[in-house]
Amino acid sequence: MRSVPLSMIPKGSKAVVVSILGGRGLMSRLMQMGLTPGTEVEVIENRAGPILIRVRGTVIALGRGVASKIIVSPLYR
Amino acid sequence: MSPNASYDVRNKYRCSIVVAVAGNPNVGKSTLFNVLTSEIAHVANWPGVTVERKEGVKSFGDKKICFVDLPGTYGITSSSIEEIIAREYIISGEPDVILVLVDSTAPERTLYLPIQILELTPKVVIALTKVDLMHSLGIHIHIDKLESKLGVPVIPVSAIKGIGIKELLQALVEVAEGKKGRKEPLRINYGGLEPFINEVMRIINDSKALKQYPIRWAAIRLLEGDERLEFLLEKHGEVDKLKKIRELREAIEKSIGKSPEELAIAARFNFVDSISKEVIIRVEKTTFMQTLEKIFQHSILGPAVSLILLFMAFLLAFAINTGFPLNIIFSVLGLEELASIIESYSLSSLLGEVFTYLSNIIYDVLTPNIPPWLTSLICDGIIPGVGAILSFLPLIAMIMFFLALLEDSGIAPRLAVSFNNLFTKFGLTGRALYPLIIGLGCNVPAVMASRTAIEDKERVQIAFSAPFIQCQARLVVILAFISAFFKSVLERTIVIISIYTAGVLIYLVTSLIIRRLLFKTKESPEFIIELPPIHKPNAKVVWWITWDYTKHFLKKAGLIIFTLSIVIWFMLNYGPSGQVDDITSSYAFMMGKAIAPLLAPFNLPDQTAWKIGFTLFQGFIAKEAIVEGVVLLSGEGVDVLEALRSLNLNPIQAYSLLLFMALYVPCLATVAVMYAELRNVKLTILSVIYMVTIAYVISLSTYIFLSYLASLIGW
């Protein structure tokens, strides 16, 4: 199971959060919003610009910088 | 910086119960707060910081309940000043009960905060907000089960529909008085971390630094690396304890392979997940709103539709208030009569007439009875001053109304997402779009719109830079100048476009500079935005947000505008020899003359320098006054174009000076709002100095460059 940054997951796919790179502040913020290791996320939109994901029932937009610091493991059907 | 924990709300309002209100941002806290409190008694800042604090009071039966609004947070770690404030207040001993809001439209995620708080204190009541929306989204929550699992009252409420408020107040009283709820804080099983937690508890058992905190809670936080607790340990000289704890953290990282913080948050969310699975049911529902959402999510349609909505909204607001841009369009098309009709029926014109009328009546009434200087002060100083404030009021209210509409419907965050990429290059987020567009009409609401930015730094960046956007008043000056000094359509177009572009560019670049230099950050603001489901904006909420902003304007900026109006009245009517009738003997005029030497590099003809100096002073009052100022100085019965031409400027001088007038300082109302938003006198003064300097440098270099070019061509 490869781990890739969230920014590389295509629209419509799901993935599981593995870890969060970056400073403690960012990690804490993202995790408190529900992006904890083991959580499933669904990518709703991934073109130029912020990425839209659904996590724990809500939709969140993440800047590309932030999205590239979230390491996930893609889920294949 | 430690926020002082003793606020003494109880004595201030003589209440029997104090409730602290906590919740995620976006969870409907302000709305609920407005409904719970009969009046917002006090809005100030938490001591020592620039975070806003609201207090309110409600009488319930024979009890008086005080509410203290905590900053919106996702957790209570110490990763932000908001979290520290919330946490310190919770354990300060002042609140009798903590009201935690859970968004019923996003329960799986927003249950995290109450769990964190429950680990800290057992006296909690949970309010499930937005339940009216919950049903329409197909979400069902098993309230009884949730209550029994957490051991605290869970009350479904809809602030806007007024559902559940009485039950909520009842529950708050019961928990505060110990009749209901938990006796002990919540205890979560942290799995592999448990032995380490026990070890830390042993270490800090006799700690003086941490004695105010529940010991298990403090142990877990220390394992996660809580900066504030670590700071306290150092401050009390318990550094050996800190060292041991840090060693434990490293041991965890080595043996388990993950940071203790990750493990702890994961354990808490596991707990939330286990509850959610049993208590929350979701049913797929396709509603009209969800189709709307698909539109906004579309990468092209989304921004296009949003932008159109935004433009329409602001256009409407400006048209009603000042006639802009219809008046300009009509006058450019040559339909002068239509233009002036539109203008004279606009709100600000009508208001202006009311005030002129008022001032004339009062003048007639007062003149025989009181000394003329007092009459002048009242009729030429105070009344126009008050009139100036009130004339901005409808415009501000309307713009804030539209912003509130956009915010509450869920469209605003989506707009910010669409335009984010563009703005990150300048150290801003997509939210910087509003001030830009609003500023094209008027800088005053544009600066106020900086509040839509989430990060405080970004707010400062926007408030600082927004005045460079060319407002409609400056457009009036630009149009007057190009009519007087430039003949061909090509020249005129180039002048206008170059000035507007300069404004936008400097807006963006200044933001970047502020971010890099003042805040010393290389990265753009982190962009993490929740996208709440799109829904019909609620009238009450929109009204509250609008009223909130408008009140803010009145209180903060209003006073300054008023004071400055009086000062300017004085400077226009008094000189070294006392009261003057001839404006050329006034202090204002002297100021204008004093500025004249700075204009020397522009090689202005003799009489022109001090005239320009004076009009620059006028321009501080209001941009349109620049034109009025020139007319005033040229004597009676001169029309605008003649007056301007009498300055004898060549096109290059005209353009450079126009550039200066476009960029130097905004009108005093804008400066007043800047102060209201920046809340810092030094910063405000700095921004004014910055603007004048930039304007001077740019206009002078333009003049020199263009003159040089002209001499090469042999003009």
Confidence bin at B638 (pLDDT 50/70/90):
low
Inter-chain contact B526–A66, Cβ cutoff 8 Å? Answer: yes
**B576 Cβ contact list (under 8 Å, min separation 6):** B585, B587, B590
Radius of gyration of chain B (CA): 30
**Residues B615 and B626 sit within 8 Å (Cβ to Cβ):** yes
Mean pLDDT of B286-302: 74
ipTM value for the complex: 0.90
Burial of B312 per CB tally in 10 Å (0-12, 13-18, 19+): exposed
Of B79, B106, B533, nearest to A29 by CB-CB distance is B79
Look at residue B282 and give its three-state secondary structure.
strand
| Interchain CB contact of A11 with B (< 8 Å) | no
**Residues B454 and B552 sit within 8 Å (Cβ to Cβ):** no
Instruction: Extract the residue ranges of chain A whose pLDDT is less than 50.
Output: none
Confidence bin at B126 (pLDDT 50/70/90):
very high
| Interchain CB contact of A10 with B (< 8 Å) | no
Average predicted confidence (pLDDT) for chain B: 84
pLDDT for the residue B715: 63
CA distance B582 to B240: 78
Residues from chain A contacting residue B417 (CB–CB below 8 Å): 49-50, 52, 61
| Residue B681: φ, ψ to 5° | -65, -45
What amino acid is encoded at B478 in this protein? I
Inter-chain contact A62–B528, Cβ cutoff 8 Å? Answer: yes
CA distance B565 to B644: 26
Topology given in CATH for the domain delimited by B191-282: Helix Hairpins (1.10.287)
CA distance A3 to A18: 7
Burial of B509 per CB tally in 10 Å (0-12, 13-18, 19+): middle
> What does the buried/exposed string (b/e) look like for B41-69 if buried means 16 or more CB atoms within 10 Å of the residue's CB?
eeeeebeebebebbbbbbebeeeebbbbb
CB pairs under 8 A between A and B: 115
What is chain B's length? Answer: 715
- Give the start-to-end residue ranges of the domains of chain B: 9-176, 191-282, 294-476+517-559, 571-713
- How many CB atoms are closer than 10 A to CB B582? 8
Inter-chain contact B531–A60, Cβ cutoff 8 Å? Answer: yes
pLDDT for the residue B29: 86
| Interchain CB contact of A77 with B (< 8 Å) | no
Of all residues in chain B, the percent with pLDDT exceeding 90 is: 26
Mean pLDDT of B500-527: 85
Retrieve residue B290's tokens: 């969800």
CA distance B205 to B545: 47
Task: Give the H or E element holding residue B489.
Answer: helix B489-513
In DSSP terms, A15 is beta-bridged to A41, A74
Mean pLDDT of B8-35: 86
pLDDT for the residue B693: 92
Mutate to test the interface with B, among A28, A30, A60 (most CBs of B within 10 A): A28
Taking only the tens place, the pLDDT of each residue in B518-564 is 777 777 777 888 888 777 777 877 887 788 778 777 777 777 777 77
pLDDT for the residue B631: 73
Mean pLDDT of B602-622: 80
Inter-chain contact B297–A44, Cβ cutoff 8 Å? Answer: yes
Inter-chain contact A59–B265, Cβ cutoff 8 Å? Answer: no
Taking only the tens place, the pLDDT of each residue in B335-378 is 777 777 777 777 777 877 888 888 888 888 887 878 877 887 88
| Residue B569: φ, ψ to 5° | -55, -45
Inter-chain contact B528–A66, Cβ cutoff 8 Å? Answer: yes
Taking only the tens place, the pLDDT of each residue in B639-655 is 777 778 888 888 898 99
Mean pLDDT of B379-394: 76
Confidence bin at B86 (pLDDT 50/70/90):
very high
Taking only the tens place, the pLDDT of each residue in B153-185 is 999 999 888 889 999 999 999 999 999 899 999
Instruction: For residue B110, give the nearest of B23, B22, B21, B19 by alpha carbon.
Output: B23
Residues from chain B contacting residue A48 (CB–CB below 8 Å): 299, 421
Inter-chain contact B299–A47, Cβ cutoff 8 Å? Answer: yes
* Closest residue of chain A to B524, computed from CA coordinates: A65
Taking only the tens place, the pLDDT of each residue in B659-709 is 999 998 888 888 888 988 888 888 889 999 999 999 999 999 999 999 898
| Interchain CB contact of A25 with B (< 8 Å) | yes
Retrieve residue B92's tokens: 């300060």
Give Cα separations from B185 to B118, B216, B630 (angstroms). Answer: 6, 10, 72
Mean pLDDT of B243-254: 92
| Interchain CB contact of A30 with B (< 8 Å) | yes
CA distance A75 to B581: 82
Topology given in CATH for the domain delimited by B9-176: Rossmann fold (3.40.50)
Domains and CATH numbers, chain A: 4-75 (2.30.30.90)
pLDDT for the residue B293: 76
Mean pLDDT of B77-98: 88
Token pair 């009884």: residue: B144
